[in-house]
Amino acid sequence: MTTLATSKHIHATLCNWMQKHYHTRECGNHMTLRTCHRRAECYYMPQGSRIAASAATTLAILYSFLLLGSIRQTLTAAFFIRSERALVLNVRPTFRRLSCSPCAMTTTSAEAAEGNKGNPFNFSWQQTMLRIKDPAKSLPFYEQVLGFHRLHEYKFDSFSLFFLYMPSPEEKPGLPPSGSKESEKVLWSMKGTVLELTWNHGTESQPDLKYHHGNEEPRGFGHIALACDDVYAACEELERRGVAFQKKPDEGRMKGLAFAKDPDGYWIEIVSRDASAAAFRDPETPRFSLAQTMLRVKDPRQSLRFYRDLLGMRLLAIKHFSDFSLYFLAQPASLPSSLLASLPASVDPSDESGWAVMKQLPGPVLELTHNHGTENEEGFSYHNGNTDPRGFGHVGFLCDDLEGACAMLEGEGVAFQKKPSEGSMRGLAFAKDPDGYWVELVGRGLAI
C-alpha cells in the first residue's frame, strides 16, 4: 500500500513535471489544482495556446502512478485532452492537496502553517498610510462619518500624522487621550492595525494639488475596505451624508458591495461581514470596521514569500477568477484571542472555509490582487505612490528587534529605501516589497 508520503511525492512530482514542460514554456497563467472530498483535479489551460501532449508522455506519467501507487488509488487515473486546450488529470487520492494557483503559486496547508511559524521577530501589521490634502475635511469624514477613533497624532514643522483606529469593545474604555505619551505607547506596541493619514502642511491651500488614488494609470494601491452588517443600508446613509460613490451596491457585475470615495478620492470598499463578527464590534460605535488594504502585485509567488514567509502573515483565502486572483492575508498576532482560539489548526486557503474565517475577522486583511499574465511582462511594474503622482505611502509593521529584523530581510535579498541608522528618524526603516511598495518597519515601543 502506498504511504501518505509517497502519494504526496507522486502528486508533487506530477505538478513539477507540468510546470517544467508546460507552465514555464507557455503563458504561465492558468495552472490550478482544485480538491474536493475524494478527487483531485489538475487543470492546465493556457490562454490562446495549444497543448501538445504526446501519447508517450501521457502513458509515462500514468504508468508512474500505476507503478508507485496502490491499485485502489490509481485505477481511476486517466488523462483527457479536451478541445486541445485543457489537460485534465482525475485521481482518487488519499494524499493531502497540493495547490497550484494561476501563475503557479504553490502552497499547501502544511506550507502555510510553516510560513506562520517563521516570525522570530514578532512582526505585526500595524498601519496603512495615505496622504491627505486637508485634515479639516478628511478627519471629520473618517471620525464622524465612518467612526474611526483618533488614537494618536504627531505635529511636526512641515507635516502632521494622524493615526486612526477602530478599537474593539474591550480596548475602547482603556484608550488614553490622543496625543499623550500614553497613546504613543499604545500606538507602538499595539496588535491591531491603524490608518495613518499624513498631511503635508500647506497642501490644503494648493487648488491644483490632487492625490492619486491608484486606480488609474499609474496603478498600484487599490483601496481600503470597511465591513458592515448591511451594505445597502450603510451606503444609503453615507449617500445621505454627502459621500460620493465610485460604485453603488447594485451597479456593475459585482452586486452587494460598493466603493465610496473619501475627500481625496481614495476608494473605500464597503463589504458585508459575517454575523458572527458582531461580537467583536462595539454597538455604540459606527457600523463599520476596518476590513482590508488592497495592493496590486505583479507575481503572487514573490509577494507571498515576502508577506507570508518573511513577515509572518497567514494566508487565509484565495479567490480565482478568469483573469485575476485575490490573496487575503492576516496577521495572527492581531486576532482577538477568542477568535484565534476558534480558528481551525489548518485553514485550506483554496476552499470556502478560509473565506468564511476571513469574513469573521474584526480586523483587516491584506488583499493582494494579481492580474494574470503580469508576471510574464518584461518591464512591467506597479506604482508605489511615493513618486509623482503621490497618494498611498506604505504599509507598516512592528517588530521586536528592528536591527535584527532588517539584517534578516537584507540577507533574504530584500531591498531598503531607508535602513534604521539612516536619516534623521532612527528606530524605523523602510523596506521594499517585490513590487517596490514601501514597508515601514518600526521597533516595538518606539518613542518619538
**pLDDT tens profile 75-123:** 333 333 333 233 333 333 323 222 333 333 333 334 433 444 568 999 9
Q: What's the confidence (pLDDT) of residue 170?
A: 77
Residue 383 pLDDT greater than 70, yes or no: yes
Domain ranges of the chain: 4-100, 124-443
Query: What is the structure's pLDDT at 362?
Result: 78
Which residues pair with residue 244 across a beta bridge?
Answer: 261
The number of C-alpha atoms within 13 Å of 186 and in the hemisphere containing its C-beta is 23
Q: At residue 311, does pLDDT exceed 70?
A: yes
Q: Is 153 annotated as a binding-site member?
A: no
The residue among 370 and 96 whose pLDDT is bigger is 370
To the question of whether residue 196 is assigned a binding role by annotation, the answer is yes
Residue listed under C-alpha cell 497613546: 183
Neighbours of 340 (CB within 10 A): 11
Exposure string of 358-396, with b = 16+ CB inside 10 Å and e = fewer, is bbbbbbbbbbbbbbbbbbeeeeeebbbbbeeebbbbbbb
Does the pLDDT of residue 137 top 70, yes or no?
yes
pLDDT (0 to 100) of residue 283? 56
Confidence grade of residue 359 (pLDDT, cut at 50, 70, 90): confident
* Residue 348 in this model has a pLDDT that exceeds 90: no
Instruction: Give the pLDDT mean for 259-272.
Output: 98
pLDDT at 65: 45
Q: Averaged over 146-172, what is the pLDDT? A: 93
| Residue count (the chain) | 448
CATH class of 124-443: alpha beta
State the pLDDT at residue 91.
34
| Exposed/middle/buried for residue 85 (C-beta within 10 Å: 0-12, 13-18, 19+) | middle
pLDDT of residue 339: 66
Q: Is the pLDDT of residue 179 over 80?
A: yes
Residue range 134-162: average pLDDT?
97
Q: What is the pLDDT of residue 414?
A: 99
Of 26, 184, 269, 367, the catalytic one is 269
Question: Rounded to 5 degrees, what angle do the CA atoms 258, 260, 265 make?
Answer: 140
Mean pLDDT along residues 158-178: 91
The grid cell for 332 is 495572527
CA dist 321 to 116, 273, 369, 371, Å? 26, 21, 11, 10
127 is an annotated ligand-binding site residue: yes
Average pLDDT, the chain: 78
Residue 203 has pLDDT above 90, yes or no: yes
Residue among 337, 294, 291, 340 at smallest CA distance from 314:
340
> Is 111 one of the annotated binding-site residues?
no
What percent of the chain is predicted at pLDDT more than 90?
Answer: 57
pLDDT (tens digit per residue) in 16-64:
544 443 333 233 333 333 332 223 333 333 333 333 344 444 444 444 4
Grid cell in block for residue 398: 512592528
Instruction: Confirm whether 269 is a catalytic residue.
Output: yes
